């Protein structure tokens, strides 16, 4: 049923390159929403200013003003905000690391992709997935954008970077175009072994200092697999990789134990006696792929009946450290999504809530004292509305072209962004519910179901009808579809 293949949301863990990067003219397909905003003036702004910094835009620009305005929010630093509390909880497990919490989100393509050795055809680079300001400048799509620079600065053997990150993606209760990640790294210097004979011995000594736990860990795969999860054999010995992997896994298991112990205590305090609060915690390591680590893994936690992906990690590619001028260092890195962890820590049911200024939400969290479950305020009724359209021969997308475009150029993320642009946080979910190809004409028809629901009040019928009509018109205007 999927129109496009996606890179899974939180993590860049696929090898596949599927989305073509198509260059277009500024006037042709400035992103749907910007076009909407600037339709009255025939040219779009050539320079954008964000917190006093000026950026020249070009035909790659696809970042709406609504996204740029999120930059100022810095939710991960707002006192007593659940994202800030979650950040501090994790920081408390890495007391000897240096924390970077104020790195600016507009970065170069080099920082976000090239320095991390993303292949040139990696789907993450495409304009359908990433917010560009110009050909060379993006809103960071992950905190790893600062990895090379932080290694180069070499201010500490361990660091944590917490920050807002930006991706064009689905609209539903766990996806929002702005979210927050935490990146952590630890490295060791071959020239500073102290009293230890080898680097591996030195690392194992550090492993011994990580608090132990009693949870059940499934880790069925070998640390290194020649095809699936290779050793960087030019640079690392098997012993070094094994030791660093053990340090990485134990450190992150410690984080997970901390988070889930707090989450369970909150559940029990709220009177929850379901199996998930009774059974012992289970976690498992699975093999993964990231362009900038090898070997790589993801950590999953069994939570409320499902395996939940919590983070991605691996041994940092030595070429990244070498290019950062610290070739005597080697180490690991991880990245995790703060919203996902905060949602299960506090039982927050909808990602839009993090952006709420409603005191009924914000007043429930405190950075001092135990974690407490969020008590949802009454849920307002949902209002579903469908829209069906043909992807016509003039359909276009943020990654497509106006003239002679075909279904190939249509990208679901443009529908998603248009819905957000029209309805803001009043849209809860956008889902493809039907698609078919006309047997004679070969044209493709899609039907999307929009769920309009406010977190704060009951929407009137009239209001939702208006929003939906606007959305339909914008689909025609900006994506060139033909309504059915
Ligand atoms: N930056 C990666 C992502 O967002 C996560 C990651 C960080 C993986 C560090 C490995 C090491 O997908």
Question: pLDDT tens across 26-65, in order?
Answer: 222 233 333 333 333 445 569 999 999 999 999 999 999 9
Structural tokens at position 405: 């475009």
12 Cβ below 6 A of ligand 1: yes
Rounded CA separation 16/18 (Å) = 6
CATH architecture observed for domain 383-483: 2-Layer Sandwich (3.30)
Around 141, how many Cα atoms within 13 Å sit in the side-chain half-sphere? Answer: 32
Query: Please, are residues 71 and 140 in contact by the beta-carbon 8 Å criterion?
Result: no
pLDDT digits (tens, 9 = 90+) for 138-178: 999 999 999 999 999 999 999 999 999 999 999 999 999 99
CATH code for residues 73-105+140-362: 3.30.930.10
State if residue 142 touches ligand 1 by the CB under 6 angstroms criterion: yes
What percent of the chain is modeled with pLDDT above 90? Answer: 83
Three-class secondary structure of residue 353 per DSSP: helix
What is the tens place of the pLDDT at every residue in 196-254?
Answer: 999 999 999 999 999 999 999 999 999 999 999 999 999 999 999 999 999 999 999 99
DSSP three-state, residue 12:
coil
Ligand 1 atom with the smallest distance to the CA of 336 is 5
Q: Is 112 a pocket residue for ligand 1 (Cβ < 6 Å)?
A: no
φ/ψ of 76, rounded to 5, equals -70, -10
Domain positions in the chain are 73-105+140-362, 383-483
- Evaluate: CB of 290 within 6 angstroms of ligand 1: yes
Whole-angstrom Cα distance, residue 338 to residue 83?
Answer: 6
More confident residue, 43 or 353: 353
Q: What's the predicted TM-score (pTM) here?
A: 0.89
In the predicted model, what is the mean pLDDT of residues 91-102?
A: 98
**5 pLDDT exceeds 90?**
no
The mean pLDDT of the chain is 89
Which residue's alpha carbon is nearest to atom 6 within ligand 1?
335
Question: What whole-number percentage of the chain has pLDDT above 70?
Answer: 88
pLDDT at 408 over 80: no
CA distance 371 to 440: 59
Distance 304 CA to ligand 1 centre (A): 25
Does the C-beta of 141 come closer than 6 Å to ligand 1? no
Q: Whose CA is nearest to atom 10 of ligand 1?
A: 313
Helices (H) and strands (E) in the chain, counts: 14, 17
Identify the DSSP state of 175: B
Tell me the pLDDT band of 280, cut-offs 50, 70 and 90.
confident
Q: What is the average pLDDT across 345-368? A: 95
144 CB within 6 A, ligand 1: yes
The best mutation among 144, 181, 229 to test binding of ligand 1, ranked by most ligand atoms within 8 Å of the C-beta, falls on 144
Q: In what order do the strands lie in the sheet with 158-166?
A: 98-100, 158-166, 178-189, 329-337, 306-316, 293-303, 282-290, 216-218
Q: Which residues contact 214 (CB under 8 A, 6 or more apart)?
A: none
Fold equal for 73-105+140-362 and 383-483:
no
């Amino acid at each position: 049923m999927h129109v496009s293949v996606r890179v899974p949301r939180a993590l860049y863990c696929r090898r596949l390159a599927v989305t073509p990067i198509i260059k277009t003219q500024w006037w042709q397909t400035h992103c749907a929403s910007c076009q909407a905003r600037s339709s009255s003036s025939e040219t779009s702004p050539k320079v954008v200013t964000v917190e006093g910094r000026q950026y020249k835009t070009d035909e790659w620009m696809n970042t709406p003003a609504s996204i740029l305005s999120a930059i100022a929010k810095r939710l991960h630093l707002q006192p007593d905000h659940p994202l800030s509390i979650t950040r501090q909880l994790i920081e408390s497990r890495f007391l000897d690391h240096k924390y970077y919490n104020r790195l600016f989100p507009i970065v170069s393509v080099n920082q976000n992709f090239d320095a991390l050795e993303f292949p040139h055809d990696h789907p993450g680079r495409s304009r359908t997935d990433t917010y560009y300001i110009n050909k060379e400048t993006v809103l960071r799509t992950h905190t790893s954008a600062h990895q090379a620079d932080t290694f180069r600065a070499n201010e500490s053997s361990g660091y944590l970077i917490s920050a807002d990150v930006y991706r064009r993606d689905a609209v539903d209760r766990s996806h929002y175009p702005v979210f927050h990640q935490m990146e952590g790294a630890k490295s060791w210097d071959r020239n500073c072994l102290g009293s230890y004979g080898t680097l591996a011995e030195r690392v194992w000594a550090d492993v011994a200092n990580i608090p132990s736990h009693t949870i059940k860990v499934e880790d069925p795969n070998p640390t290194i697999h020649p095809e699936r999860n290779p050793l960087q054999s030019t640079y690392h010995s098997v012993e070094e990789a094994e030791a660093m992997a053990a340090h990485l896994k134990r450190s992150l298991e410690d984080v997970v134990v901390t988070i889930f112990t707090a989450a369970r205590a909150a559940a029990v305090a709220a009177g929850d006696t379901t199996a998930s609060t009774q059974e012992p915690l289970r976690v498992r390591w699975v093999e993964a792929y990231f362009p900038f680590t090898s070997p790589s893994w993801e950590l999953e936690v069994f939570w409320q009946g499902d395996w939940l992906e919590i983070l991605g990690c691996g041994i940092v590619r030595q070429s990244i450290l070498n290019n950062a001028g610290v070739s005597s260092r080697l180490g690991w890195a991880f990245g995790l999504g703060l919203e996902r962890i905060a949602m299960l820590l506090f039982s927050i049911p909808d990602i839009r809530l993090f952006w709420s200024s409603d005191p009924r939400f914000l007043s429930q969290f405190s950075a001092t004292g135990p974690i407490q479950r969020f008590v949802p305020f009454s849920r307002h009724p949902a209002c579903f509305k469908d829209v069906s359209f043909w992807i016509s021969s003039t359909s276009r997308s943020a990654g497509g072209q106006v003239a002679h475009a075909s279904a190939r150029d249509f990208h679901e993320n443009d529908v998603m962004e248009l819905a957000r642009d029209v309805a803001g946080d009043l849209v809860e979910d956008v889902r493809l519910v039907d698609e078919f190809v006309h047997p004679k004409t070969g044209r493709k028809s899609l039907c999307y179901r929009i769920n309009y629901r406010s977190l704060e009040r009951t929407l009137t019928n009239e209001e939702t009808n208006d929003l939906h009509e606007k959305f339909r018109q914008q689909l025609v205007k900006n994506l060139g579809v033909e309504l059915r």
